[in-house]
């Protein structure tokens, strides 16, 4: 027997139970991971407490819990490729991560994901990468962040923000991050110029960036996005994050996605590795924009899934991201999907 966190009814933390369950084993083309750490995200409590959120992810009761995990491969079935017993790995297993063991395909099928953990990165740090790390990288990829930019990041000291700050610095950008004053020194250590939330934010940002702000990503609420608009940031260089079960759901027409203001900005719904697939309706986070230019079709190997099921794909410009618009997605978002790299994992290590 082994242990897993499960729930049979929707509700708060009280519905979660640690139970003994039959020990899973790797089948053909699968590996089993002995979990060393599991990461928790807002999507996890959203799925376990809200039936509508669970339905969006294809979760039915009874269910396991969590997505992010890290550990060591201890079984490999026949036909499994890319991973071997003893490999340290991290990734995602939708509704199964909080357990002694996780079994996933090798290579993984979306929405699951599996990657090698870089040397020097602990399981605890690696288990924070799949959702929060990918969301941060997706947010920056969607605004085309580049060296020389001055980017305003809302909620910079949050779970996603700490990744966004470090990735933006790695890209060569100047970073200004909104936060509470108690986290200012922490943000300075990460290389960001901290600025307090609240009334007068635009004036405080102007004081920190007299040359102007060129891009922005709002990871909580709308204040940062509103401020960026007031500062003249081009709408196409802004993103805004929303959870998939939040109000004002995105419409099915990508050209008519609602915006923060009459001027169009990109909007996010909360990013996992599973976004590099046609069916984005059951993924954790997506990044969409209101005005989209036509994109070209990419080759099938650029993203997982059958390209025939997608209305639009954009060729990956680097190994770090893949932009997809899916015909199967309920919101048909433009999705910026980072492909995990050693840089991303090492950036996480700087937070540890």
Boundaries of domain holding 238: 131-349
Q: Which helix (H) or strand (E) holds 208?
A: helix 201-208
Rounded-to-integer distance, Cα 73 and Cα 85, Å = 5
Domain termination site, one of 127, 159, 194: 127
Residues 113 and 182 in one domain: no
Please give the average per-residue pLDDT across 68-81, as a whole number: 97
Q: What are phi and psi of 343, to 5 degrees?
A: -60, -40
Q: Please state whether the predicted TM-score (pTM) of the whole model is above 0.85.
A: no
Q: Is the peptide bond before 303 cis (omega within 30 degrees of 0)?
A: no
| Strand 215-218, strand 238-240: pairing | parallel
The CATH number given to whatever domain includes residue 47 is 3.90.180.10
Query: What is the per-residue pLDDT for 244?
Result: 58
**Do 176 and 121 fall into the same domain?**
no
Once rounded to an integer, what is the mean pLDDT over residues 72-81? 97
- Mean pLDDT, range 220-244, rounded to an integer: 88
Assess whether 27 and 154 both reside in one domain: no
Q: How far is CA 82 from CA 122, 235, 291, 320, in A?
A: 21, 41, 39, 19
CATH number at residue 304: 3.40.50.720
Give the tokens for residue 119: 């040397």
Q: Are residues 207 and 95 in the same domain?
A: no
What is the DSSP pairing of strand 113-116 with strand 150-154?
A: unpaired
Q: Which two tokens stand for residue 173?
A: 């950008």
The answer to whether residues 183 and 292 belong to one domain is yes
Residue 283 pLDDT:
25
CA 43 to chain centre: 10
How confident is the model at residue 139, as a pLDDT?
Answer: 94
pLDDT in tens, 302-340: 323 332 332 222 222 222 222 222 222 222 222 233 333
pLDDT at 127 over 50: yes
Mark which of 101, 127, 153 sits at the end of a domain: 127
Report the share of the chain in percent with pLDDT over 90. 66
Q: Are residues 135 and 99 in the same domain?
A: no
Token pair for 64: 């396991």
Domain count, the chain: 2
Confidence tier at 240 by pLDDT (50, 70, 90): confident
Q: Which of 73, 94, 127 is the last residue of a domain?
A: 127
* pLDDT tens digits, one per residue of 272-306: 333 322 222 222 233 322 222 222 222 223 323 33
């Amino acid at each position: 027997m082994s242990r897993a966190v499960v729930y049979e009814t929707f509700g708060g933390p009280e519905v979660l139970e640690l139970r003994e369950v039959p020990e899973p084993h790797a089948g053909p083309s699968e590996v089993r991971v002995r979990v060393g750490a599991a990461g928790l995200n807002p999507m996890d409590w959203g799925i376990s407490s809200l039936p509508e959120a669970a339905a969006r992810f294809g979760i039915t009761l009874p269910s396991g819990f969590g997505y992010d995990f890290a550990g060591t491969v201890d079984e490999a079935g026949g036909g499994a490729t890319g991973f071997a017993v003893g490999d340290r790995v991290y990734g995602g297993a939708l509704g199964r991560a909080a357990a002694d063991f996780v079994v996933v395909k090798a290579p993984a099928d979306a929405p699951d994901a599996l990657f090698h953990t870089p040397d020097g990165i602990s399981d605890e740090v690696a288990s924070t990468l799949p959702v929060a790390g990918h969301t941060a990288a997706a947010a920056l990829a969607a605004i085309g962040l580049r060296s020389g930019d001055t980017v305003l990041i809302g909620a910079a000291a949050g779970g996603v923000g700490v990744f966004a700050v470090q990735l933006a610095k790695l890209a060569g950008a100047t970073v200004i991050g909104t936060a509470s004053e108690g986290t200012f020194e922490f943000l300075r250590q990460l290389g960001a110029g901290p600025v307090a939330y609240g009334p007068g934010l635009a004036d405080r940002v102007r004081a920190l960036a007299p040359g102007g702000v060129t891009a922005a990503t709002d990871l909580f609420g709308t204040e940062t996005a509103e401020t960026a608009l007031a500062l003249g940031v081009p709408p196409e260089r802004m993103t805004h994050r929303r959870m998939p079960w939040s109000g004002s759901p995105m419409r099915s027409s990508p050209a008519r996605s609602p915006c923060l203001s009459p001027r169009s900005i990109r909007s996010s719904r909360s990013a996992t590795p599973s976004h590099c697939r046609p069916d984005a309706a059951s993924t954790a986070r997506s990044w969409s924009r209101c005005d989209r230019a036509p994109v070209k079709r990419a080759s099938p190997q650029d993203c997982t899934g059958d390209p025939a099921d997608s209305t639009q794909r954009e060729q990956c410009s680097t190994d770090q991201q893949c932009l997809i618009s899916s015909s199967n997605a309920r919101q048909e978002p433009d999705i910026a999907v980072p492909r995990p790299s050693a840089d991303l994992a090492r950036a996480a290590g700087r937070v540890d």
